[in-house]
Structure 1
C-alpha cells in the first residue's frame, strides 16, 4: 500500500501553494500555516525593515483549522492583531 501511496499520493497530501505576503502598517506579513495532523495550525512571518536591518517575528498559534486557505486567512488576521497591539515591541529582545 505504501508503494501505491508514494506513486499516486492522496489529494490531501499535496503541499499547499505558497501564500502571497501583504503589507500592513509598514510590516510585511507572510502567512505560513503548518500542517498538523489533518488540520492546519495558524502561523505567519512578520517582518519590518528597522534602520536598514530586517527584523522578523514568527507567529505560531495553537489554533487549528480544517483548510489551508482558512488557516492562511486566520494567520493574516492574527498577525494584524499583534501588530495593532504590539507594533515595534514584537521585535523586543
Structure 2
C-alpha cells in the first residue's frame, strides 16, 4: 500500500461499498412491466430500474437524483412510460 493511499483511507474513512438497488413494486403499462429500483447515493437516489416485456429486458438508468426513494420511483415510472410511448418495442 502506498503512502498516498494510506493517507487517503485515513481521511476518507475507508471505502464505502455502494448499496444495491432495491426493487420497488412494478407497474404494468401497455404490455410492459416497469420496475423501479432507486440507487441510494450521497446526493440522494438515482433513477434506476427495468422495463420488461416477455423475455426482453431493458435496464433503465438516468443521471437524475431525487431526495427520496419514492419520488425517484415515481419519476422512473413517468420517464419509462414516456420512453415506451415514444419507442415501443424498439427499446429492446
Please state whether the residue corresponding to 1:19 is helix, strand or coil: coil
How far does residue 19 in structure 1 lie from its aligned partner after superposition? Answer: 1.4
Gapped regions of structure 2 (runs ≥ 5)? 1-19
Residue of structure 2 aligned with 1:37, choices 42, 48, 51: 42
What is the TM-score with the length of structure 1 in the denominator?
0.72
Q: What residue number does 1:60 align with?
A: 61
Write the distance in 1 (CA, Å) between the matches of 2:65 and 2:40. Answer: 9
Gapped regions of structure 1 (runs ≥ 5)? 1-14
Residues 39 and 46 in structure 2, CA contact (< 8 A), matched pair in contact too: yes
How far does residue 38 in structure 1 lie from its aligned partner after superposition? Answer: 3.7
Q: Which has the greater radius of gyration?
A: 2
What is the TM-score with the length of structure 2 in the denominator?
0.73
Higher RCO (Cα < 8 Å, 6 or more apart): 1
Residues 64-89 of structure 1, C-alpha deviation per residue, up to 9 Å, x if partnerless? 00011100110111111110111000
